[in-house]
Amino acid sequence: MKQTDNRVESTLLRRINERRLLEAIQRHGPSSRAALTRVSGLTAPTVSKAVDTLLKRGLVEELDPAEPALGRPGRLVRMAAASAAVLGAVIDAGTCCVVATGLDGTVTEKRTIRFATPAGYPALLDAVEEACRTLIHSSGPVVHGIGLSVPGLINERLHEIVFSPNLHLLDKHNPARDLETRLGVPCVLVQESDALVLGEWLSGDARGLDDFAVLDAATGLGLGVMSGGRLLAGHSGMAGEVGHITVVPDGVRCGCGNRGCLETLATDAALVRLIGEKLGRTVSLDEVAGLLHTRPADFQHELRTVTEYLAIAIAAVINIFNPTTLFVHGVLLAGTADRFARVVERVKQRALTASLADCTIVASTSSKRQGAVAGIIHHLTNACAPSLG
Ligand SMILES: [Zn+2]
């Protein structure tokens, strides 16, 4: 082997080690160099060298332990929370938000800006840019990048949102590329269901899990799947569109143009539509939440319908992907303990017994905001080196 080959090989190896340490810190939280040596299986000098490089690149920072152990206390290495920042932007039907956090991914309301989704693409881009600029100016530390959670189909080969059934103003656009040009900060596009998966994986209840799925039953019915520690993408990144399986061939028109898609009957938006139809007027999600709380008996039929179809969706995901945990994201059904318990009860009627026995169904506690942030942190981690997993 030539000397240059050796050099390339050792550089790649170093970067793979750096990535391995970042993943260990994300999985285990703030850790001493000794602990990182233990969990990574690398030698102590290799860990020290890699940590030094990550410190120089501003991705991690050191701090003194709260309660020093006996003897010489080891400083802890954590994802850079005070000295570096990332932004997460959520583009959604109705409301958008942008949040600034450290690389530890802790989101706070104080550093979140919310605004109503503008009606056209140029106005949307202006609004997201303005919120990002406000947060970048008030952040202080270096902003490493911005993660953008978006609804719809992202074609990774074409680098654009090819089709967004519930927010058509995004069709044929790439807001991450456009924002990067305007702000000069690296931006990545993350499909919102994948964002929820990464949010659960990096800072939620899926830490350490390699096979799990998140079913988002809020506006559309989105699915993100982590399989063997990798996000399921398909050929162009468009896999997982469970929401557009036809369940009622002559049903109501879906945002995708088809009729009777599963997402027209299994989501918060479906329940809002059905209750609006019953009342003969337009209602908001908040109003429906109130009505279901004060007059649940009046909407039994609508509740039963959406409960049934959400159970069918959950069962389909369990049967097809065999996850160890399925997180369900939503407000009206997944966000209320007794209604969610009824959904889970109905899943037992629909899923294969053996597949269901393998799987825990839980309500997701993560958010798209958390997911957008996780998307950029995941991207920065991946940018170190390819995964060997
Ligand atoms: Zn559809």
- 173 found inside a domain: yes
Residue-level pLDDT at 69: 58
Residue 325 sits in the same domain as residue 218: yes
CA distances to 114, 123, 155, 303 from 120, in Å: 17, 6, 21, 34
Amino acid at 50: A
* Ligand 1 centroid from CA 346, angstroms: 23
- 200 found inside a domain: no
* Ligand 1 centroid from CA 74, angstroms: 55
The token duo for 99 is 């949040």
* Ligand 1 centroid from CA 246, angstroms: 8
Nearest Cα to Cα of residue 15 among 387, 384, 388: 384
Residue 311 sits in the same domain as residue 343: yes
Residue-level pLDDT at 161: 94
Q: Which domain range does residue 36 map to?
A: 3-64
Residue-level pLDDT at 141: 76
* Ligand 1 centroid from CA 232, angstroms: 20
* Ligand 1 centroid from CA 253, angstroms: 8
Residue-level pLDDT at 4: 62
* Ligand 1 centroid from CA 15, angstroms: 43
* Ligand 1 centroid from CA 184, angstroms: 36
- 69 found inside a domain: no
- 196 found inside a domain: no
Residue-level pLDDT at 12: 85
Residue 163 sits in the same domain as residue 213: no
Residue 339 sits in the same domain as residue 378: no
Q: pTM (2 decimals)?
A: 0.89
Residue 326 sits in the same domain as residue 360: yes
Reported as a single tens digit per residue, the pLDDT across 277-314 is: 999 999 999 999 999 999 999 999 999 999 999 999 99
- 312 found inside a domain: yes
* Ligand 1 centroid from CA 256, angstroms: 4
Q: Report whether 181 contacts 174 (CB < 8 A).
A: no
Residue-level pLDDT at 201: 92
* Ligand 1 centroid from CA 161, angstroms: 16
The token duo for 4 is 């240059």
Residue-level pLDDT at 207: 87
* Ligand 1 centroid from CA 162, angstroms: 15
Residue 227 sits in the same domain as residue 341: yes
| b/e 67-83 (16+ beta carbons within 10 angstroms → b) | eeeeeeebebbbbbbee
Alpha-carbon distance of 138 to 157, in angstroms, equals: 35
- 154 found inside a domain: yes
* Ligand 1 centroid from CA 265, angstroms: 11
Q: Which residues of the chain fall short of a pLDDT of 70? A: 1-5, 8-9, 67-73, 385-389
Nearest Cα to Cα of residue 257 among 246, 269, 266: 246
**131: CB partners within 8 A, 6+ apart:** 89, 96, 97, 98, 113, 115
Residue 233 sits in the same domain as residue 326: yes
- 58 found inside a domain: yes
Which residues are in the CB-under-5-Å shell of ion ligand 1?
Answer: 244, 254, 256, 258, 261
Residue 185 sits in the same domain as residue 242: no
* Ligand 1 centroid from CA 262, angstroms: 7
The DSSP bridge partners found for residue 148 are 89, 189
* Ligand 1 centroid from CA 151, angstroms: 13
For 231, phi and psi rounded to 5 degrees? -70, 130
Alpha-carbon distance of 313 to 246, in angstroms, equals: 11
- Domain of 9: which CATH number? 1.10.10
Residue 229 sits in the same domain as residue 167: no
Residue-level pLDDT at 138: 86
* Ligand 1 centroid from CA 25, angstroms: 40
Number of domains in the chain: 3
* Ligand 1 centroid from CA 218, angstroms: 14
Residue-level pLDDT at 372: 97
Residue-level pLDDT at 68: 59
* Ligand 1 centroid from CA 299, angstroms: 25
* Ligand 1 centroid from CA 263, angstroms: 7
Alpha-carbon distance of 75 to 53, in angstroms, equals: 16
Residue 184 sits in the same domain as residue 219: no
- Domain of 353: which CATH number? 3.30.420.40
* Ligand 1 centroid from CA 202, angstroms: 30
Q: What is the distance of C-alpha 102 from the center of its chain?
A: 17
Residue-level pLDDT at 2: 58
Residue 170 sits in the same domain as residue 295: no
- 78 found inside a domain: no
Residue 59 sits in the same domain as residue 98: no
